[in-house]
Amino acid sequence: MVKVTSHGAELHVDDLYGDRRPIVLVHGWPLSGEAWKHQVEAFSDAGHRVVTYDRRGFGRSGVAADGAYDYDALTDDLEEVVRALDLSDAVVVGFSMGGGEAVRLATRASGRLAGIVLAAAVPPYLLKTEDNPDGPLPPEGADGMKAGLAEDREGFLPGFVRDFFRAGDDVAVSEAEVEAALGLALQSDQDAALACIDSFSRTDFRDDVAAVRLPTLVVHGDADGIVPLEGSGQRAHDAIEGSKLVVIKGGPHGVNVSHADEFNRAVLEFVNSL
């Protein structure tokens, strides 16, 4: 474990050394780097250097000293982690909200990345607007999520986390997995969690996605009810030239947990092909 400071925020980073290409895992909202437990072991066993970190205001990281939770600041954090660990030829895997940092870092001239993976990720643009009619999240949905968290945190988070793993009418993971994810969600700072709802729901990544020139894998479950495949993963794949799309049948939003073996296999095949 190391600490990396970015914009005054102290970030908790876990770094498992390996001889093969580094894989940096960026978690979703409102979890932490510990949400990648099914990936860390598998990727490390395959010989890769595996890096996870907790987003500012989440898990074991500190809150933002500058109060910023926009994607420019969040991507600065990711870039600082990559630089502080002197990573090169790395693959960044961005899950859900973390897909925003992944595509934005891919457009920066860092020269340290070999590729990116967008896993159940929010790009290109989650919010449904007049000029983004295919956005899967209506404004009232974003507003309702923020109001629910603001007014009844203890009531909102359990339901959200359960929906995280819901595929149709069924929850696709064990109750122990649901409780573990809820425990991570409850570690989040309330102000950070509220601000990040605005960031992931209202940030337009269409220009970022169009500018990606790195090899890209898109992995998405076809039963994702939080970030639907058709409105996000499929559109990102269509917009990124040469990208590969892997659709996991029956996969909910938390597909890296519910279908861990299939997810890990797709990511490792992509990483090892670079």
Q: Is 189 a catalytic residue?
A: no
Q: Is 12 a catalytic residue?
A: no
DSSP tag of 70 = S
Please answer whether residues 55 and 94 qualify as being in contact, where contact means their C-beta atoms are separated by less than 8 angstroms: no
Beta-bridge partner residues of 12: 3
Evaluate the CA torsion angle 238, 239, 244, 247 in order and state its sign.
negative
Q: Is 224 a catalytic residue?
A: yes
The residue type of 27 is H
The residue type of 169 is D
**Beta-carbon contacts of residue 88 (< 8 Å; ≥ 6 apart):** 22, 111, 112
Q: Which of 12, 237, 253, 259 is catalytic?
A: 253
Q: Which of 61, 96, 188, 258 is catalytic?
A: 96
DSSP 158-188: HHHHHHHTEETTEE-S-HHHHHHHHHHHTTS
CA angle 235, 240, 246 (to 5 degrees): 65
Q: Which of 15, 189, 208, 224 is catalytic?
A: 224
Evaluate the CA torsion angle 10, 16, 19, 20 in order and state its sign.
negative
Can you tell me whether residue 217 is helix, strand or coil? strand
Q: Helix, strand, coil % (nearest 5) of the chain?
A: 40, 20, 35
**Residue matched to tokens 């519910």:** 258
**Residue matched to tokens 């020139």:** 213
Catalytic residue positions?
Answer: 96, 224, 253
